[in-house]
Amino acid sequence: MCFRPRLWLFLLLLSLVALPALAQQTGSITGKVTDSSGGVLPGVTVEARSNVLPGPRVATTDADGVFQLPALPPGIDRLITTEGKQRSRRAA
pLDDT 10s digits, 66-92? 999 998 988 888 999 998 877 877 776
Q: Look up the CATH architecture of domain 24-91.
A: Sandwich (2.60)
According to DSSP, residue 85 is labeled T
**Per mean pLDDT, which range of 4-18, 34-48, 57-71 is the poorest?**
4-18
Highest mean pLDDT out of 2-6, 8-12, 25-29, 60-64? 60-64
Whole-model pTM: value is 0.69
The Cα 63–Cα 81 span in angstroms is: 16
